[in-house]
Chains A and B, each alone.
Chain A
Amino acid sequence: MVAEDPSSAESSASCEIRIVNEISEMARVADLVDRFGAEHGLSNEVIVALNVSLDEILNNIICYAYEDAEPHDITVRLQLRRESVEAVVEDDGKPFDPLAVATPRPRSAEREGGVGLHFVRSLTDQVKYTRRDGINQFWFMKKLTR
């Protein structure tokens, strides 16, 4: 669902989706990004940047953030601004600042982590991690391109 918010001058459109921590759920996020991108005429470059970045962040959370076997909610919000699009991912997994991880250059099939965050940093214009009230919040921004 893409909700228009005419009451706000700054935010022209936003949408939100909640998934559980299973890899198969991630396709729903990619579908939402594709739909959001099409409805708002985002360039392919921006849509790919959003999709790859969210894939890396969500994969990381689902694979490494939880120490129990219980289902957990992960929330993804997209917000279209005049000259950028912002995404926020929130999870209640263990505290983890992905930005504190070094980003090695990819060289082999055995390499884990690292490469994914290198994609996020390279494809976006700004990234930010905060931990508050037991929630990890990863925010990133991508400037709009034609």
Chain B
Amino acid sequence: MKLVEAVSDDVTIVEAYGRLDSTTAKEFGERLMSLVHSGRSSIVLDLKNIAYISSAGFRALLIAKKATAEREGKLALCGVIGEVKRLFDIGAFTEEFLICPTQADGIGKLRQ
């Protein structure tokens, strides 16, 4: 798991690489929480380079979503494609998140 972060004014873009599973969910969740707690609660998370997400990973995503909302921010996801998209569908997580086609769409949604 690797996270690459970029800042676009009020929005933070996080590109995630690797597996989002039991082994990586804790570190991943802690990083997103530390962003939120430092005031960066508008986050676009790009999942296009994630190989798969297990239930531990989805739990971390749901917690991050809740944390951004509590700080008047929002979590937008993009790059939900291929097997990762299938896992969102199987777990019925698709409606739980704001999912956008691209990073630019995500940034646009967060600024609306």
Contacts and interface: CB of A to CB of B under 8 A. Distances in A.
A116 B63 contact: no
Interface of B: 19, 21-23, 51-56, 58-59, 62-63, 65-66, 82-83, 86-87, 90-93, 96
At the interface, is chain A mostly helix, strand, loop or mixed?
helix
A101 B62 CA distance: 23
Interface in A35-89: 44-45, 48, 51-52, 55-56, 58-59
B91 A118 contact: yes
B51 A48 contact: yes
Contact of B54 (A27, A59, A107, A122): A59
Contacts of B83: 44-45, 48
B90 A122 contact: yes
Given A26-B22, A45-B83, A55-B21, A116 B90 contact: no
Contacts of B65: 109
Interface in A104-129: 105-109, 115-116, 118-119, 122-123
B94 to A, nearest CB: 11
Interface residues of A, number: 25
B58 to A, nearest CB: 7
A102 interface: no
Interface of A: 23-24, 26-27, 30, 44-45, 48, 51-52, 55-56, 58-59, 105-109, 115-116, 118-119, 122-123
Given A52-B21, A59-B55, A59-B56, 6 more contacts: A26-B22, A45-B83, A55-B54, A58-B22, A109-B59, A118-B90
A52 B52 contact: yes
B91 A59 contact: no
Given A30-B19, A30-B21, A115 B55 contact: yes
B62 A119 contact: no
Contact of B87 (A23, A52, A59): A52
